[in-house]
């Protein structure tokens, strides 16, 4: 169940619990989900300074607060990530990767998480307004201070990851341990440049949105099952617009295989992502214990090669960035 994150010696569960809670507005249910994940061997929890219930920026920071309360007495058995760069705090220095903003946000995250360190601190996206030397010197300082253990990045292209590694090497800073990007049957863009780079450099890959923001979950387009949340209202129109042609072919194939093998569409879709050797771990965006139970079974699924090839073929060259992130 545990694997090295890239070439590092850090052992993480092959599934990380994502703290986005896009469809959850109950802190108690969120806490139950965290506890159940830990009780089932999940030691990897992915968070960010802006994450909050219902994916509503008005709730930014609540995910870290809930997590901090939930892991009291359990902290040392966990690998916790958080992120910085997205909009938070008081203008004008309330976003990006400047030394000012990073130092401000690390203290806020540590306070909410009720911990003295974050295991992996990631840049949440690209910030061209701050020079690489400034941002990575700041991260290296935080490592030296013991406030973070490792550095990672999110939503970068392969050339940007290499550029970051070169910047770190030029100042003798510890190199990136992980890259976190979306990867699913509907978004295979990473295979072109990112996967070859990962194989060459040994960086750990955390794949988020393995269910294509829920589109690959069975029944998601059923009006009775579609989330009646802020997140759901944002996605319904988008899903209806893209649910055609090859996307329908992928979903139909996924449904057929799931019926043949006795698993759900979500379990097969996540097992396919986990079958890729370049992927160290997937991020499960479970909003409640029922969704978590379903996702955990994905770790037990061993897809026969013939089904992997069928899914490879039907999803070949698909690139649908449902999070509106382009690579």
* Tens place of pLDDT per residue across the chain (327 aa): 899 999 999 999 999 999 999 888 999 999 999 999 999 999 999 999 999 988 778 889 999 999 999 999 999 999 999 999 988 877 888 899 999 999 999 999 999 999 999 999 999 999 999 999 999 999 999 999 999 999 999 999 999 999 999 999 999 999 999 999 999 999 999 999 999 999 999 999 999 999 998 889 865 665 555 655 556 666 777 787 888 899 999 999 999 999 999 999 999 999 999 999 999 999 998 999 999 999 999 999 999 999 999 999 999 999 988 765 443
256, with CB counted inside 10 A (0-12, 13-18, 19+), is middle
Structural contact between residues 182 and 323, judged by C-beta atoms closer than 8 angstroms: yes
The β-bridge partners of 207 are 181, 282
The number of CA neighbours under 13 Å toward the Cβ of 165 is 17
**Is domain 2-214+276-292 in CATH 3.40.50.720, yes or no?**
no
Name, in order, each residue with C-beta under 8 angstroms of 16's C-beta and a sequence gap of 6 or more.
Answer: 42, 44, 45, 46, 81, 206, 281, 282, 283, 284
Annotated catalytic residues are 51
- Please report which helix (H) or strand (E) contains residue 59, including its range: none
Alpha carbons 291 and 294: distance in angstroms, whole number:
5
The secondary structure of 215-257 as a DSSP string is: TTSTTTTSTTTS--SHHHHHHHHHHHHH-SHHHHHHHHHHHHH
- Tokens representing residue 119 in the block: 């295991």
The predicted model scores a pTM of: 0.94
Q: Which pLDDT value is given to residue 227?
A: 56
Residue spans of the domains in the chain: they are 2-214+276-292
Q: Which pLDDT value is given to residue 214?
A: 85
Residue 175's closest CA among 204, 207, 155? 204
Q: Which pLDDT value is given to residue 213?
A: 85
Residue 46's closest CA among 169, 177, 207, 163? 207
Distances in whole angstroms, Cα of residue 260 to Cα of each of 146, 210, 274: 50, 21, 19
Q: Which pLDDT value is given to residue 189?
A: 96
Residues in the chain: 327
Q: Which pLDDT value is given to residue 224?
A: 54
Residue 12's closest CA among 233, 299, 320? 299
The number of CA neighbours under 13 Å toward the Cβ of 82 is 32
- Tokens representing residue 137 in the block: 């010197």
Q: Which pLDDT value is given to residue 326?
A: 42
């Amino acid at each position: 169940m545990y694997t090295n994150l890239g070439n590092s010696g850090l052992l993480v569960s092959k599934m990380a619990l994502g703290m986005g809670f896009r469809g959850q507005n109950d802190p108690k249910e969120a806490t139950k989900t965290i506890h159940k994940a830990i009780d089932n061997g999940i030691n990897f929890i992915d968070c960010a300074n802006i994450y909050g219930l219902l994916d509503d920026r008005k709730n930014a920071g609540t995910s870290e607060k809930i997590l901090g309360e939930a892991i009291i007495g359990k902290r040392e058995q966990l690998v916790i990530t958080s992120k910085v760069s997205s909009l938070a705090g008081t203008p004008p220095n309330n976003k990006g990767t400047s030394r000012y903003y990073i130092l401000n946000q690390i203290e806020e995250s540590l306070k909410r998480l009720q911990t003295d360190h974050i295991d992996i601190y990631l840049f949440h996206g690209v910030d061209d307004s701050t020079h690489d030397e400034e941002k990575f010197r700041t991260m290296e300082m935080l490592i030296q201070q013991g406030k973070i253990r490792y550095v990672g990045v999110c939503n970068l292209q392969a050339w940007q990851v290499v550029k970051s590694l070169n910047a770190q090497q030029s100042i003798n800073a510890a190199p990136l341990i992980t890259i976190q990007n979306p990867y699913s049957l509907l978004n295979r863009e990473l295979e072109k440049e990112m996967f070859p780079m990962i194989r060459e450099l040994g960086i750990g890959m955390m794949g988020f949105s393995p269910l294509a923001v829920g589109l690959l979950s069975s029944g998601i387009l059923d009006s009775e099952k579609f989330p009646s949340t802020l997140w759901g209202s944002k996605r319904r129109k988008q899903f209806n617009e893209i649910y055609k042609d090859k996307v329908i072919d992928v979903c139909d194939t996924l449904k057929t295989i799931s019926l043949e093998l006795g698993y759900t569409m979500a379990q097969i879709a996540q097992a396919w992502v986990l079958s890729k050797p370049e992927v160290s771990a997937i991020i499960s965006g479970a909003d409640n214990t029922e969704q978590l139970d379903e996702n955990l079974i994905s770790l037990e699924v061993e897809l026969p090669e013939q089904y992997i090839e069928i899914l490879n073929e039907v999803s070949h060259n698909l690139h649908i960035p449902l999070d509106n992130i382009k690579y």
